[in-house]
Structure 1
Amino acid sequence: MATITIRNLDDDLKAMLRVVAASHGRSMEEEARLIIRQALTKQDKKGGLGSRIHARFSAVGGADLEVPERSTKASAASFDE
């Protein structure tokens, strides 16, 4: 197992960690490990924006939309007035 040292941790942040750890019945070290683990594994599960939108609204059902065929070639946006 690796060891990590966190320097210059704010006193207030350390106090909050101590309170949260105590409320969960854990040591500050174990609470910090859990927080880091949860933060890093959440990133893997999020997926892209489309996946997150799909997951959020999947319970209400879906919609099948017909995508119209493009009749003109796509062009760059023009910002001239």
Structure 2
Amino acid sequence: MSSIIIENLDDDLIFRLQKRAEYSGRSLEAEAKEILRVVLIENEEQSLNLAAKIEQRFSHFGDFEIPIISRDPLRELPNFED
């Protein structure tokens, strides 16, 4: 297995990672691995299609149709033939 070294993390980021690791009951290294796994594997499996995301978000409402609204032009189109 490969190793990585991440240098020059700011203090706030280290503090947040430590707190998250403590909350989860993991070591700092295990927490960093879990974050990378979630971001790189689980998020990759989710669709990046915006329409699919919207459909998924509102799917619990069941099937419904949005009525088509008739639209009239806002103004008369110009005539360039004159």
Q: TM-score, normalised by structure 1?
A: 0.69
Runs of 4+ in 1 over 6 A off after TM superposition: none
Show the counterpart of 2:48.
Answer: 47
How many pairs are equivalent? 67
For residue 66 of structure 1, report the CA deviation from its aligned partner.
8.6
Q: Which runs of 5+ in 1 are unaligned?
A: 68-81
Q: TM-score, normalised by structure 2?
A: 0.68
For residue 19 of structure 1, report the CA deviation from its aligned partner.
1.6
Show the counterpart of 1:11.
Answer: 11
For residue 55 of structure 1, report the CA deviation from its aligned partner.
0.5
Distance (Å, rounded) in 2 between the aligned partners of 1:46 and 1:7? 32
Distance (Å, rounded) in 1 between the aligned partners of 2:27 and 2:66? 53
Percentage of pairs with the same residue: 39
Change (3 A) 1:65 1:11: closer
Q: Which runs of 5+ in 2 are unaligned?
A: 69-82
Change (3 A) 1:24 1:65: closer
Please state if 1:26 is matched with 2:26: yes
- Higher CA-based Rg: 2
CA RMSD of aligned residues (A): 2.1
